[in-house]
Chains A and B, each alone.
Chain A
């Protein structure tokens, strides 16, 4: 009897599970959102969800992820220079003055930049009676020079030794004080002197870390003093929005006072209008909605269901599930709620050029030929998610000069085994010249990947592709942040292949694709994101246990382009460096020029893509009927 009861219970349980899983949620959103002919309505609450919180609790000096770039740009922090928050077709990749009255004046030698700051700009409460002055920007630069405050951020863009061609004079020595190259000429004039001409320096001043910090007494770091680790929870900015509860902060209180209530790390953030923001001073941000509510947590499937049933308007920064996309694309009333925009990102496979067999350029070229890029794209969701990539630097950053450049092209991007084998024959690891690797170095090639979807399916395709030229991959998967990045960024792990990586621009200049990914200063651990060890010094490679100690470097190629002023010569230089990457060093296998795909609710009236930040533009979104 007991046994029978167990069986009946088991069957009943299975039945309940089947019933629970049967059917899908009934979509309730209808209609085709479209922009109104005239002025868009103001008002309403934009409801969003994200799967995981930002990395560093909104500390602008530390945050270095796309997810944080948009809330900083659209809503919380104005900087001297910025962008208009729109897509490339609407000049979203063109630099604009923001808190500065105009673009900076640059000295003839390209070393000194002078910014004039707008008058009458005030911070959000409780600093609403404090006007933004030049000293506040100097304070931000001082904080950026503090290695503890800017840990894991992008201080390398301001440091002369950061490997990006130069930086601010005195930055490395400042260590939390105002660098000697930063001069507060007067309350509304700031002068910055560089160690070398940097054509993209104005872009570096658009980054959130350069946002002004309110003064507090005579403290060097002002309001950020005492908040080395948690400044984001006390953030006071000048954008059209602020965290709810910012006004409850005590400007004279200790650093240990309660943080802003509207941001609960890992749980939620709520942005409300900043009463100090004056639209007349900010032509970049229309700021239609009154409030932005963000809930943190949930899987892509759960959040897609919430978009479907109207609980939220968008899963911010996520990838919609394939079945939801398919359903929306098949429904004429919903196709307008699917948005796919080039994100100026590249998805690629990084090869460790110090680890056999990838220390041989012919093997690297053979891999470029043999990988079935179309199959990889298919597992990601198909053509909606991007174009097959034939080179590394995205076309928008090099003026489409390399749009048809693909040195390892194959029919339909499905891989060319014949050409791969022909290349492999030239390799030292193919002793008998049959086009298939026969050396022991090609067995058990350590491959470190992300275990989340769609990488398991992609791994199967990679294994199959590589096998065709005799390379047998030993795939190890794990969590992206605690496993994959940990191993791929650590040279001593000897990961030969890191296929689950991608790169998105920090700002619309090709420099952001060069030194940060393939420059010698970007080799970890502690640094990011040169997984391939391009330019690794013999000492570094020896210390990490490599027998190969002489690897190609791209530093001279990048240095040549870095000093050029913005213009056609600079663009051409970066286009040429892309060819050097793909033909002289070959450390990567680029396979997808990424597109950002968003599913939105029918409440969103005018989906706008922020080309600079690479996400939906939160300050340009309006809601149907003003959210009524």
Chain B
């Protein structure tokens, strides 16, 4: 029978404690947080993902600086005649004019638009995920804690949202609310990045809700909950002070795994012609623009596609790493 090699809870220290040889090194205890960090650090792929994500965040933050350096704002069409052919086909990388990634059909700098596209993707992803987490955690906590009719109602609501044709509904909502200045719902859903974020968040909370509900269902039977109740803690206190911290780990993991889905969701909406406003660069929109001409304008598909691919991969790797680091039962 194979032995499961597990991380030792203590390591040798130099104070001679915990059974170390006289005069030799002692054993130092590590907190759960330190162990998690240590396990995470051992995962080279997750670290690579973190490094890449930090790089992308910096690119997104400093996108205006990049535009300044190369001298091409993201929607500038000044170089239309230099960077497109007379038949409208765009031209590729031109180092002399500082178009390092080439241009699109309107003669706009693809490098700058990829950088601004990172902003779009990350803003929408984080904001939409934030909405999903807030709603999902609240619903999951309540459903798992109260059980009974409340759980039944909320669980069926989750099932209904799961069964909705999400892409079609998103297309319809964004189209309908994106057409007028005032948007929908008395101005609550205004056209723009926020609208797209709301829509994406509205359809991604069930994943978190189900995870949280499952965790809460098992945790609510534990002794610490009984102890808290014996001490006079009310339901809200138990949910938010006792249960929520114990489901934080899976929430964090699934949040990092939902983010890339939301990035792809936004890219899909933009690819289909809805999504962020026209003048806001988006990787999905850029991929749509490349549609049909990528055989002669490969840069229009390569660069936004590559960054989209690497960003979602990075989030996935980080999420996997977090899951392995947080779960002590994972085989290494």
List A residues at the B interface (Cβ < 8 Å). Answer: 2-4, 6-7, 10, 14, 21, 23-24, 299-301, 321-323, 325-326, 375, 378-384, 444, 446, 448-449, 451-454, 456-461, 463-464, 474-479, 482-483, 487, 493-494
On whether the beta carbons of A459 and B278 are closer than 8 Å, the reply is yes
Query: Judging by beta carbons under 8 Å apart, are A444 and B181 in contact?
Result: yes
| Contact yes or no, A322 B178, CB < 8 A | no
How many of chain B's residues touch chain A, expressed as a range?
A: 35 or more
> SS class of chain A's interface: helix, strand, loop or mixed?
helix
Stretch at the interface among B84-92, B201-209, B252-260: B84-92
User: In the complex, A322 Cα to B289 Cα: how many Å?
Assistant: 13
Cβ distance A230 to chain B, nearest Cβ, rounded Å? 27
Contacts of A7 in B (CB 8 A): 45, 313
Q: Is the CB of B88 within 8 A of A378?
A: yes
Check A379/B295 contact, CB under 8 A, given A10-B313, A476-B191.
Answer: no
A234 shortest CB reach to chain B, Å:
33
Which of A384, A444, A453, A457 has the most chain B CB atoms inside 10 A of its CB?
A: A457
In contact, B89 and A456 (Cβ under 8 angstroms): no
Complex interface: chain B residues within 8 A of A10 (CB): 309, 313
Residue of A301, A323, A382 near B86 (CB, 8 A) is A382
Per the 8 Å Cβ criterion, residues 174-189 of B in contact with A are 175, 178-181
B305 to chain A, nearest CB (A): 9
Question: A457 near B273 (CB under 8 angstroms)?
Answer: no
A selection of 8 A-B contacts at a CB cut-off of 8 Å is A379-B88, A381-B88, A456-B288, A458-B106, A461-B80, A464-B78, A478-B175, A478-B273
Whether, in the assembled complex, B316 has its beta carbon less than 8 Å from a beta carbon of chain A, the answer is yes
Q: Does B279 contact A (CB under 8 A)?
A: yes
Q: Is the CB of B87 within 8 A of A381?
A: yes
A552 CA to B126 CA, complexed, in Å: 50
Which single residue of chain B is at the shortest CB-CB distance from A13? B309
CA separation between A477 and B274, bound complex, in Å?
7
| Cβ-defined contact, A384 with B87, below 8 A | yes
- In the complex, B210 has a CB within 8 A of chain A: no
Q: How distant is A11 from chain B, measured CB to nearest CB, in Å? A: 10
Alpha-carbon separation in the docked complex, A454 to B77 (Å): 15
Known: A3-B45, A446-B180. 6 other contacts (CB 8 A): A10-B313, A380-B88, A460-B106, A483-B179, A487-B179, A493-B180
- Determine how close the nearest CB of chain A comes to the CB of B319; give it in whole angstroms: 11
Chain B residues contacting A300 (CB-CB under 8 Å) are 292
Residues of A within 8 A of B119 (CB): none
In the complex, which of the residues A321, A378, A459, A478 contacts B178, with contact meaning CB atoms closer than 8 Å? Answer: A478
Residue B159 CB within 8 A of the other chain: no
Beta-carbon contacts under 8 Å, B270-326 to A: 273-274, 277-279, 285, 288-289, 291-297, 301, 309, 313, 316-317, 320-321
**In the assembled complex, how far is the CB of residue A307 from the closest CB belonging to chain B, in whole angstroms?**
14
What 10 pairs across the A-B complex have the smallest Cβ distances? A451-B273, A475-B278, A460-B106, A457-B106, A457-B105, A323-B296, A301-B292, A3-B45, A382-B87, A464-B77
Residue numbers in A under 8 Å from B151 (CB-CB): none
Complex CA distance for A477 and B293, rounded to whole angstroms = 21
Q: Across the interface, do B88 and A475 meet the contact criterion of CB distance under 8 Å?
A: no
